Structure 1
Amino acid sequence: MSQNREMKLAAYLVGTGIHVASWRHPSAKPNTSIDIEALQHLAQTAERGKFDLAFIADSLAINPESHPQILNRFDPVVLITALSAVTRKIGVGATASTTYSEPYILARQFASVDHISGGRAAWNVVTTADATGETALNFSRDKHWEHDHRYERAEEFIDVVQGLWDSWEDDAFTYNKQTGQFFNPDKLHELNFKGKYFSVKGPLNIARSKQGQPVIIQAGASLPGQRLAARTAEVVFVHWDNIKEAKHHYKKLKSQLKDFGRNEDELHILHGISPIIGETEEAAIQKYNDLQNLIDPYEALKFVSGYMGNVDFSKYSLDTPAREIEFPHVNSIQSNFNEMKKIVEKEDLKVGDLYTRFFGAARRDGFIGTPVQIADELEKWFTEKAADGFMIQFPLLPNDLEDFVRLVIPILQERKLFRLDYEGNTLREHLNLKKPKNVFIQKTGASKSYSKI
């Protein structure tokens, strides 16, 4: 581990927690997903723990198989604006789709949040993936676009958004009351983008932000997703089955950065985990069992079905061998589906085992235990370069977040793996990412016209 390398941490904030039955826990407040004070408290708790980022996911459709926590929730861009108002340092990131959005509107929304937050915004780029195709029906389409088509459009979408974010040079607004000059017209740039999917004139009607541009996050692990990440992403969320696979894919993705003239430290890979902490290992396992005992097996399988080609698992008994089920082609999260299908083919799983095997804390991995055990596991993944940090999907909120901040963070700090305090004010400063150069400015400082990357 290099001396300057520090673990990066993002807190995944979703209602009562990522566990499918978290809302049924005796301590849970089931409507947390639309309780702004409760959500603001979560962000403040994560900031107290010096987390880099508070993250909000999204979906644009629901169906009976949806996770309970996504049936009733705020628009994520609106929510991170509210979270930024009660925090001062922590980054705020939100998901927004390149398939069901327009670049100009999205660029303006995230630039606005970046200004409001003082340079702490991040955009999680998704092409939208739902196996049922419900989203398409909400946007006047008959079906979901194919996987590779979505990624091709996303490449162009990001180019447009980043070009719009550079419409104004950093010192374009002069506000000179004596001369009457509000801005310097030589430092305003029209985008004039013309591509296969978009034609956008620009400029954007908001100044460049304190950190230059919001941080770009991405989660795709398919081949098109990896290419998009290697070219454009600054943070990538991943979720592999074990540390061996994680190390392989970490090295593979980092090696692709050079193809786009980028260095390895320009992209942080965060592995998704769902820790449960107890004073003893037995206490942590009891917490896990308490959550598992709240699960309705078929309700949990509805959640699984969204990742496995929308198979109707209710037709099968819980004892049915999973490998006997035929899984159709999916047009959704390709990498997740492929990994899960591989596990089903290799392991002797029953239908009733699937949720427990695949998702979060239910997997009973090395992230359920004492604070020291969890810190040990985090350190192992970090120092062996299976990850640069972690996207922490707490099973039960706020309990598990509060336990992590109180019990695990101090151990990581003592081991010099994690910051004692924020050293900067913007998300880019937290992540040790440079402020992007304005695409319209050459190295000499002269203006130039935009060309498609």
Structure 2
Amino acid sequence: MKKQIRLNLIFHTSGRHDAGWKTFEDPTGLVDDIDHQIAYAKLAEEAKFDAIFLPDTPAALGKSFLRKPRRGLDPVVTLAAIAMHTKHLGLISTAQSLQGHPYLVARAMATLHHVSKGRAGWNIVTSQDDYMLDALGLSADAKLDREERYAKASEFVEIVTGLWDSLPKSAIVADKENDVYIDPALTHPIDYQGKYFKSKGVLQLTGRYEGERPLMFQAGISPESRKFGSKYADVLFTSQPNLDKDRAFYAEVKGYAEGYGRNPDHLLVCPGLYAVVAESDAKARALKAEIDEMMDLNFLIVQLAGQVGLPIEELDPNKPLPVELFDKIPTDDSVIQYRRDDIGGVAQANGFTVKQLVHHNLTRGQRTIFGTPEQIADIIEDWSDTNVGDGFNVNAHVQPLGVERFKDVITELQNRGRYRKEYSHASFRENYGLPASPKV
């Protein structure tokens, strides 16, 4: 049997492109219209995507929210509603692992898992966005360095998974004669006393559905995040600047997983993919270019200046990015340095002008491909076979058009024997081809 490819849909309310909302006749409901979200999810299931993934940051209204819609609905509640209208689609919700208490996440994810009948996934994030800290009443002093962030996140995950296993189904004996519903002798209470979190007791509901825990996902590029994800996650999301770095990431995290005593084949790697599908490569590029022109060019250039740490007056939209200024204007900011290497490399490799570069950057690091369904399928097959990824997180440039057209790519992969034609199992884990959860 040919290697099966996994495909998740990144669930952007109007598509990945920042101007996608401008293609809607009435975009005012994109933030809070649950019917819109449900219709989008049903379209994803019709296309046979493995899962939908809801990015989320619990934050105060930031500047970016003023220029484009972001789904404002709580992701777990949204996915619970979607679960009522879908049968097979995996439902991946983002939840913080630094703020709040792990008990609340354990309960929320277990609830979604039961409501969806075994289709929940938890995307573990360690972000420290300023707007999020403001919304939660935390000062900038609350920010942790990378090492501490992942130490704290590790405690969070240990508590969540411990709670999921604390009330096995077998403990619910429902003994009417002896007036015992739950036998405490069959439970596995936790008593976690960590540096950052403490938790004691048994979760109020079983954390597993028919023996399976929710799937765990994690994204990141730092060395700490790679090790963290390789230890805990079932699936790693990634976004690398080029294919060589994708393959290096793939080999590195698989090696880490093996070092943690895991079968590396049981850790899936799914890079981001921004696919524009049309009747030809030229028409696909023209489709994106048309939407690119809906953006405020000056705003994009201001953003670029901040990303690479250069004065805006040095960025002429019709000239190349002045990478020679990186040495003349040094930075000790590791994020800016990473972006200089990433964005500067892309600019030079493609010969982009600043205008072309900012339009390219609208995909925010996702690997961008254009073409017919057959051409896109060729690329996905090649990348899967050369260890770029075990699957991909698909970004539709606009929706619903992007998803409707990507459905033809999935059909092509099905015809080649690289993607299942039907959902073959009831649970998300089984459809993903992952082994059963460890027994309690």
TM-score, normalized by length of structure 2? 0.89
The alpha carbon displacement at 1:305 in A equals 7.1
1:54-103 deviations in Å (ceiling 9; x for gaps): 11001122321458445551111111111111111111011111122210
Structural mapping, 1:28-39, within 5 Å: 29-39=27-37
1:272-311 aligned within 5 A: 272-301=272-301, 308=307
The answer for the alignment partner of 1:196 in structure 2 is 195
Report if aligned partners of 1:121, 1:214 keep a CA contact under 8 Å in 2: yes
Say which is worse superposed, 29-38 or 156-165, in terms of deviation: 29-38
CA separation of 1:26 and 1:264: change in aligned 2, threshold 3 A: same
- Whole-Å Cα distance in 2 between the matches of residues 187 and 309 of structure 1? 57
Opposite residue 49 of structure 1, the aligned amino acid is A
Label 1:305 to 1:317 Cα distance change in 2 as closer, same or farther (>3 A): closer
Residues 198 and 186 of structure 1, relative CA distance in 2, 3 Å threshold: same
1:84–1:250 CA distance, 2 compared to 1 (3 A): same
What residue number does 1:420 align with? 421
Structure 2: which amino acid aligns with 1:197? Y
Deviations 1:380-423 (A, max 9, x none): 11111110011011110111001111x11111001111011111
Q: Check if 1:399 corresponds to 2:398.
A: no
Note closer, same or farther for the CA distance 1:30–1:311 as it changes in structure 2 (3 Å cut). farther
Does the aligned pair in 2 maintain the 1:33–1:39 contact within 8 Å? no
Q: Which residue of 2 aligns with 1:360?
A: 363
Letter of the 1:227 counterpart: K
Map of 2:92 onto structure 1: 93
> Is the CA contact (8 Å cut-off) linking 2:272 and 2:367 kept in structure 1?
no
Deviation at 1:253, TM superposition (A): 1.1
Select which of 46, 49, 54 maps to 2:47.
49
Who is 1:141 aligned against? 138
Answer yes or no: is the 8 Å Cα contact 1:65–1:303 preserved in 2: no
Contact 2:268/2:391, CA 8 A, preserved across alignment: yes
Please give the secondary structure, in 2, of the residue aligned with 1:201: strand
Whole-angstrom CA distance in 2 between matches of 1:402 and 1:355: 27
Cα 1:75–1:26 shift into 2, 3 Å = closer
In the other structure, the counterpart of 1:445 is none
Q: Give the 3 Å change call, closer, same or farther, for CA 303–403 of structure 1 in structure 2.
A: farther
**Given that residues 273 and 366 in structure 2 are in contact (C-alpha distance below 8 angstroms), is that contact kept between their aligned partners in structure 1?**
no
Aligned mates of 1:362, 1:283 — CA distance in 2: 22
In 2, are the aligned partners of 1:173 and 1:184 still within 8 Å (CA)?
A: yes
Give the Cα–Cα distance (whole angstroms) in 1 for the partners of residues 203 and 313 of structure 2.
50
SS at match of 1:298: helix
> What is the match of residue 116 of structure 2?
117
Determine the C-alpha separation between the residues in 2 that align with 1:309 and 1:79: 36
C-alpha spacing 1:70/1:155, structure 2 compared with 1 (3 Å)? farther
Kept after mapping to 1: 8 A contact 2:21/2:69: no
Indicate the larger mover: 380-389 or 176-185: 176-185
Q: What SS is found at the alignment partner of 1:205?
A: coil
* 1:111 positional shift: 0.6
- Structure 2 residue corresponding to 1:6, chosen from 4, 7, 15: 4
Partners of 1:148 and 1:361 in 2: how far apart?
A: 25
Question: Which stretch of structure 1 is more off in the superposition, 204-213 or 45-54?
Answer: 204-213
CA distance in 2 between counterparts of 1:154 and 1:424 reads 32
> 1:448 aligns to what?
none
TM-fit CA distance, 1:281: 2.4
Q: Which residue of 1 aligns with 2:387?
A: 385
C-alpha separation between the residues in 1 aligned to 2:212 and 2:332?
A: 41
1:17/1:393 contact within 8 Å kept: yes
Query: How far is 1:344 from its partner?
Result: 4.2
Match of 2:58 in 1: 60
Tell me: CA distance 1:176–1:300, structure 2 relative to 1, closer, same or farther (3 Å): farther
Say yes or no: does 1:171 pair with 2:176: no
- CA–CA distance in structure 2, aligned partners of residues 148 and 312 of structure 1: 32
Secondary structure, in 3 states, of the residue corresponding to 1:105? helix
For 1:171, what is the secondary structure of its paired residue? helix
Check whether the contact 1:114–1:121 (CA below 8 A) recurs between aligned residues.
yes
Deviation at 1:301, TM superposition (A): 4.5
Structure-2 separation of matches of 1:232 and 1:362: 24
| Cα 1:141/1:344, change in 2 over 3 Å | same
Change (3 A) 1:374 1:229: same
**Aligned alpha-carbon RMSD (Å):** 2.7
- Name the amino acid aligned to 2:47: G
Shift of the 141–267 alpha-carbon distance from structure 1 to 2, 3 Å rule, reads: same
In the alignment, which of 374, 377, 398 is matched to residue 375 of structure 1?
Answer: 377
What CA distance in whole angstroms lies between the structure 2 residues aligned with 1:33 and 1:313? 32
Please say if 1:266 is aligned against 2:269.
Answer: no
Instruction: List gaps (5 residues or longer) in structure 1.
Output: 442-453
TM-score between the two structures when normalised by the length of structure 1: 0.87
1:450 maps to which residue? none
When residues 242 and 9 of structure 1 are mapped into structure 2, their CA distance, relative to the original with a 3 A threshold, is same
Question: What displacement does 1:255 show?
Answer: 1.2
What is the alpha-carbon distance in structure 2 between the residues aligned to residue 327 and residue 67 of structure 1? 32
CA contact (8 A) 1:322 1:344 kept: no
Structure 1 runs, 4 residues or longer, greater than 6 Å off: 309-312, 361-364
2:110 is the counterpart of 1:108: no
Higher helix residue share:
2
